[in-house]
């Protein structure tokens, strides 16, 4: 993952989002998880994964090649097909970290 970020290779970053340790234990807590994940990738996301402790999902989209809004809409629709109300929003990562206070 670190090498993919250093190289700026979003495809490899998306692959690195596959979590074979925690995801199998947590995916059943999110109704329609597999449908939503598959739909997000089919709509153009490089990767989809459980975000933090859940129950939210995060999709990584290269906006140079795909508009992230249809990805978000597709995932919301997939949740709806699984009888789950959801919201979406599109955001960007911060440009860089900054030191607020040195110890």
**Rounded distance, CA 69 to CA 40, Å?**
11
- pTM for this entry: 0.83
| 1 close to 13: Cβ distance less than 8 angstroms | yes
Backbone angles phi, psi at 20, to 5 degrees: -90, 0
Print pLDDT tens along the chain (103 aa). 788 878 888 888 888 888 888 888 888 899 999 999 999 999 999 999 998 777 789 999 998 899 999 999 999 999 999 999 999 999 987 777 666 776 6
Domains of the chain, first to last: 2-81 (3.30.70.890)
The token duo for 73 is 């809409």
* Tens digit of each residue's pLDDT (9 = 90 or more) over 14-35: 888 888 888 888 888 999 999 9
Inter-CA distances, 75 with 7, 22, 27, 91, Å: 28, 21, 15, 15
């Amino acid at each position: 993952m670190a090498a993919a970020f250093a190289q700026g290779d979003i495809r490899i970053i998306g692959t690195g989002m596959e979590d074979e340790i925690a995801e199998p234990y947590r995916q059943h807590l999110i109704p329609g998880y597999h449908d939503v994940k598959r739909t997000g990738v089919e709509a153009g996301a490089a990767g989809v994964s459980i975000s933090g402790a859940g129950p939210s999902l995060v999709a990584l989209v290269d906006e140079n090649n795909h508009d992230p809004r249809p990805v978000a809409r597709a995932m919301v629709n997939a949740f709806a097909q699984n009888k789950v109300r959801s919201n979406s929003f599109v955001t960007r990562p911060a440009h860089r970290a900054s030191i607020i206070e040195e110890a």
